[in-house]
Structure 1
């Protein structure tokens, strides 16, 4: 396992007692430009002692298993929590289009069906999202 290919994986350790199959349900066929410098292919133990890439999403060392109101969610942020090849997120349509076909996701404004989401523009909800008149006639 080569950890020097991506700095985010510099402190991970390989694990050999978990699923290391070549045919992985969460792997996709990455284009060459997305295979380079990704990180380790096999499951690894991150700096918190949690095995990543074994598809056993419950680990007693995980902050998720010890969560409380005092837990800072940022402790679970960073690439050391995501396997560079075996992540369920790679199976989404947008990620498959990007990583397998090179098609970037379409960008657009986020629109909520009921509320204005832009902080720079103030709308009167009744004016922007008009409520149709309801007639009480049969």
Structure 2
């Protein structure tokens, strides 16, 4: 990372220097407790009630998805080059950079699942 305001030593290690338009309405800089009793924004993301500490074969991984797991200012994901370009410099990410141009990820979407009685859902056109 280059020297500049984005490397401000007063920032938390997981923070970046957001452009003014990205600071408004983000929420508090303070840590918060999510609906699972896990403190978000303290860099430990650990508690006895955390799904990570209660994980089993029956745990739906989707439980760990969503805004309740992301701090509005202090998240390791902000440190990626794409996010720093966008939030610190206003450079919009290129469309399709995470796509597989030679793979159709929707191939067989809507086909019945072998051994399932479920009616297949059609992919939107």
TM-score by shorter chain over 0.5:
yes
In the superposition, relative to structure 1, how do residues 26 and 120 fare at CA in structure 2: closer, same or farther (>3 Å)? closer
RMSD of aligned residue pairs (Cα, Å): 2.0
Structure 2 gaps of 5+ residues are 1-9, 108-125
- TM-score, normalization by structure 2: 0.70
Are 1:111 and 2:100 matched, yes or no?
yes
CA distance in 1, matches of 2:106, 2:50: 39
Given candidates 67, 75, 83, the residue that maps to 1:87 is 75
Offset of 1:61 from its aligned partner? Answer: 1.6
Task: Tell me the matched-pair count.
Answer: 97
- Unmatched runs of 5 consecutive residues or more in structure 1: 1-21, 122-138
Q: Tell me the CA shift for residue 72 of structure 1.
A: 1.4
Match of 2:15 among 19, 23, 27: 27
Q: Deviations over 1:62-108 (max 9, x none)?
A: 10111111111221121011000000000000000000000011123
Larger Rg: 1
Please, what TM-score do these two structures have when normalized by structure 1? Answer: 0.63
Which of 71, 75, 80 aligns to 2:63? It is 75
The structure-2 alpha-carbon separation of the partners of 1:24 and 1:64, relative to structure 1 and needing over 3 Å to count, comes to same
Q: CA deviation at 1:57?
A: 3.2
